[in-house]
Amino acid sequence: MSEPSPFENETALPDELLFAREKTLLGFKPRFDKIHDQLRLLLNSGELQAWNNKHHKGKLAVTELVAEQYPLVIFHGDIGTGKTAMAECIANRLVAESRSEDSILFKLSNRVRGGGLVGEMGTLLADAFYKVFPVSVHETD
Ligand SMILES: Nc1ncnc2c1ncn2[C@@H]1O[C@H](COP(=O)(O)OP(=O)(O)O)[C@@H](O)[C@H]1O
Ligand SMILES: [Mg+2]
């Protein structure tokens, strides 16, 4: 018997349904515009280093600081305030805009909470990341 997937679904991006969803979200654009530049910086920190090398002979220390940030975004707010909907539509738009190929939205299932009082969340999350990035997670483990 195969193990249950830690993902609820896997969606190839860009996705037309998510573009349609975005149109129904009140306030999507101002929210997206507000964090857009920061997200691109987080996702493309390699480009920043190339820019530093080209224009500043690699001397700008700030690029290292940016490169040290984890590409992790935390949404907060009550249940039903649109965290999931925003996250999915933002990912969709970022992929469309960067024209990157082979992008997949992996949506974690509630199963990663695991069972028992403490749960097995850490292990299950690590497994989920390993399924997405087998090599990099293995190397840093
Ligand atoms: N900005 C918004 N405009 C219109 N409807 C929204 C908005 N944010 C959320 N919704 C509606 O509320 C539902 C629940 O949002 P969801 O993203 O699942 O919330 P959360 O993840 O914060 O619990 C969405 O499916 C959507 O129909
Ligand atoms: Mg949610």
Q: pLDDT 10s digit of each residue in the chain, 141 long?
A: 567 788 999 999 999 999 999 999 999 999 999 999 999 888 887 788 888 999 999 888 888 888 888 888 999 999 999 999 999 999 999 999 988 888 999 999 888 888 877 778 888 888 888 888 877 554 544
Domain residue extents for the chain: 11-106, 109-141
82 CB near ligand 1 (under 6 Å) = yes
- 34 CA → ligand 2 middle, Å: 21
- 19 CA → ligand 1 middle, Å: 15
Proximal ligand: closest to the CA of 87: 1
pTM: 0.84
Tell me what pLDDT residue 125 has. 86
Query: For residues 91 and 85, what is the distance between their CA atoms, to the nearest angstrom?
Result: 10
Residue 46: burial class (beta carbons within 10 Å; 0-12, 13-18, 19+)? exposed
Query: For residues 42 and 73, what is the distance between their CA atoms, to the nearest angstrom?
Result: 10
Tell me what pLDDT residue 23 has. 98
Tell me what pLDDT residue 1 has. 57
- The secondary element (H helix, E strand) that includes residue 122 is helix 121-132
Quick check: bond before 6 cis, omega within 30?
A: no
29 CB near ligand 1 (under 6 Å) = no
Beta-bridge partners for 140 = none
Give me the phi and psi of 48, to 5 degrees please: -65, -40
77 CB near ligand 1 (under 6 Å) = yes
Query: For residues 96 and 131, what is the distance between their CA atoms, to the nearest angstrom?
Result: 23
Q: What is the per-residue pLDDT across 99-126, written as a single tens digit (0 to 9) for each?
A: 888 899 999 988 888 887 777 888 888 8
- 86 CA → ligand 2 middle, Å: 9
- The secondary element (H helix, E strand) that includes residue 80 is none
Tell me what pLDDT residue 9 has. 92
Atom of ligand 1 nearest to the CA of 88: 17
Residue 87 near residue 31 (C-beta atoms within 8 A): no
Query: For residues 40 and 71, what is the distance between their CA atoms, to the nearest angstrom?
Result: 10
